[in-house]
Amino acid sequence: MKSLTRSRSSPPPGSADPTPAGPVLGGAVQLPPQAATLNEPATSPFDPRVDQLGFVAELQKQFADDLKTVVKTDMLGADEDRRRGESFEAVLVQGTTQTVNPERWVKLYETGRITRAQFMAALSVRRDHALDALGRDELAKISFQTTNTPALRVSRIKGVQVSLVDAVRSLAAAVAR
């Protein structure tokens, strides 16, 4: 379990520089102007909600992930599938994945049990495996792309250290507004 008392002045284990990159303002380290270009250009619009998302991720990484592992291990050891607290309940959910045997699937088509349209509708070709058979250019000619829903990735700015205490304080202040 990660320490809850580590402060900004005590760096994470293995950290090379124990001092923050700039002065501390409101629980965050302000970087000098030239450091703003480490991740993105300084012309990126400022949005404090990005920090809130980052702090939630830090809470997850520095505290909740380890805690979740401990609770899950305890539940598995006690052969339990449910536990509860004052306000929340934890349920162990076992997911499964089912894969159709490709040899048997093609045999159903070859014997006429399913139509070509049914056979093709169920197929999906993994690109990595297709690259073993064809070159990139050849594969690109017979491939198509679909656009996925955009994902928002929030990452810590290089050189900024975030302690668990700072993350909690910042989120508490944002929720109180």
pLDDT value for 22: 35
77 is written with which tokens? 């050891």
All residues at 6 or more sequence positions from 27 whose CB lies less than 8 Å from its CB, including other chains: 166, 169, 170, 173
Q: Do 154 and 59 meet the contact criterion of CB atoms below 8 Å apart?
A: no
Residue 91: its H or E element: strand 89-91
Whose CA is closest to 21, among 170, 161, 162? 161
**What is Dmax (Cα atoms) for the chain?**
73
Output the pLDDT for position 39: 59
Q: Give the CA count within 13 Å in the CB-facing half-sphere of 74.
A: 10
What mean pLDDT, rounded, does the chain reach?
78
Please, what's the b/e burial string for 62-92 (b: 16 or more CB within 10 A of its CB; e: otherwise)? bbeeeeeeeeeeebeeeeeeeeeeeeeeeee
User: Using CA atoms, how far apart are residues 33 and 42, in angstroms rounded to an integer?
Assistant: 8
Instruction: Specify the DSSP class assigned to residue 13.
Output: T
Query: Which pLDDT score is estimated for 41?
Result: 56
Could you tell me the mean pLDDT of each successive run of 10 residues in the chain, 177 residues long? 36 39 39 47 82 90 90 93 87 90 96 97 93 94 89 81 85 83
Looking at residue 19, its pLDDT comes to 37
pLDDT digits (tens, 9 = 90+) for 50-99: 989 998 998 898 888 999 999 999 999 999 999 988 888 999 988 899 99
Q: How far apart are CA 162 and CA 31, in angstroms?
A: 13
Closest alpha carbon to 130 in 120, 142, 148: 142
Segments making up each domain of the chain, as ranges: 46-96, 102-141
Q: Strand, coil or helix: what is 7?
A: coil
